[in-house]
Amino acid sequence: MHNFEFYAPTRVIFGKGTEMRTGELVKEYGGSKVLIHYGGQSAVRSGLLDRVKASLEAAGISYVTLGGVVPNPHLSKVREGIALAKEAGVDFLLAVGGGSVIDSAKAIAYALAEPEYDIWELYAHTRKAKKCLPVAAVLTIAAAGSEMSNSSVITNVETGQKRAYNDNLARPKFAIMNPELTVTLPDYQTQSGCADIMMHTMERYFTNGGNMELTDQLAEGVLRTVIKNAKILHEQPDNYEARAEVMWAGSLAHNDLTGCGNAGGDFATHMLEHEMGGMFDVTHGAGLAAIWSSWARYVYKNCLHRFVRYALNVMQVEPGATDEETALKGIEAMEDFYRSIGMPTNMKELGIAPTEEQILEMAEGCYRAAGGPKGSAKLLQVEDMAAVYRLAR
Model confidence at 1, in pLDDT bands (50, 70, 90)?
confident
How far, in Å, CA of 150 to CA of 170, rounded? 6
The mean per-residue pLDDT over the stretch 337-355 comes to 98
Average model confidence (pLDDT) across the chain: 96
pLDDT tens-digit map of 39-97: 988 889 899 999 999 999 999 999 999 999 999 999 999 999 999 999 999 999 999 99
Domains for the chain: give ranges and CATH numbers: 11-181 (3.40.50.1970), 187-391 (1.20.1090.10)
Query: Which residues lie across from 344 on neighbouring strands?
Result: none
Percent of the chain with pLDDT over 70: 100
> Which of 222, 301, 215 has the alpha carbon at shortest distance from 265?
215
- The pTM of the full predicted model, rounded to 2 decimals, is 0.93
pLDDT tens-digit map of 251-292: 999 999 999 999 889 999 999 999 999 999 999 999 999 999
**What pLDDT is recorded for position 40?**
85
